[in-house]
Amino acid sequence: MAVSEHKVHTNHQGHRTLVRVMATGPLTESPAARYVWAAARLALGWVFAWAFLDKMFGLGHETPAAKAWVDGGSPTEGFLANSPEGPFAGFYNDIAGAVWADWLFMLGLAGIGAALILGIGMRLAAVAGTALLVMMWTAVLPPANNPFMDDHLIYAIVIVGLALVSAGDTLGLGRWWGETRLVKRFPFVK
């Protein structure tokens, strides 16, 4: 959306003219928008961090204490073994409870959650988060409340948006992270 403002232009003969200037910069650069995106980033980061903590320690929300990962439970078994009879049910039933799947899932939850909360590695978080969320969406096909759309896809869209607007720069360490030698050398980790 373009924003207009008026400026007075004076030519070389001293004549003044009122000029309407159209600024086409994104509205995401307004302070209010930056804080809304930062709040969305922190909220989505907490969604990932909480899922990690609950599965790791069995805090009783979705994971009972007896099924905590630290006590030998599997963070993927319950969700994947009970996948509906969708097109990918066989695949997910086969990997449910596999040690490698548990580790990848938990590292993904922790890494994506930390990146979003800290505001660093937003590009990597967007790629990894989108991949994880789309896989979780395919595990529940068809969704219970809608023929196609569910919260996994909405979160995937939001996480990409967070990276595109540099949401880690507000209320996060994104600006600092962007100036590090690592990011200067490998911009994809921004």
pLDDT tens, 122-140? Answer: 999 999 999 999 999 999 8
Asked whether the beta carbons of 92 and 146 are under 8 A apart, the reply is no
Specify the pLDDT at position 157: 98
Residue pointed to by tokens 């006590």:
71
Residue 86's pLDDT is what? Answer: 85
Q: What percent of the chain has pLDDT over 90?
A: 72
What CA–CA distance (Å, rounded) separates 74 from 97? 5
CB 173 within 8 A of CB 119: yes
Name the more confident of 1 and 69: 69
At 8, is the secondary structure helix, strand, or coil?
Answer: strand
Q: What is the pLDDT of residue 19?
A: 61
In whole angstroms, give the CA distance from residue 79 to residue 98.
Answer: 13
Q: What is the pLDDT of residues 37-57, one digit of tens each?
A: 999 999 999 999 999 999 999
Contacts with 74 (C-beta within 8 Å, 6 or more apart), sequence order: 67, 96, 97, 102
Can you give the residue ranges of every domain in the chain?
A: 31-189
Give the model's pLDDT for residue 13: 74
Tell me: the pLDDT tens digits for 160-183? 999 999 999 999 999 999 999 999
pLDDT recorded at residue 2: 45
Q: Which residue would you say has higher pLDDT here, 106 or 22?
A: 106
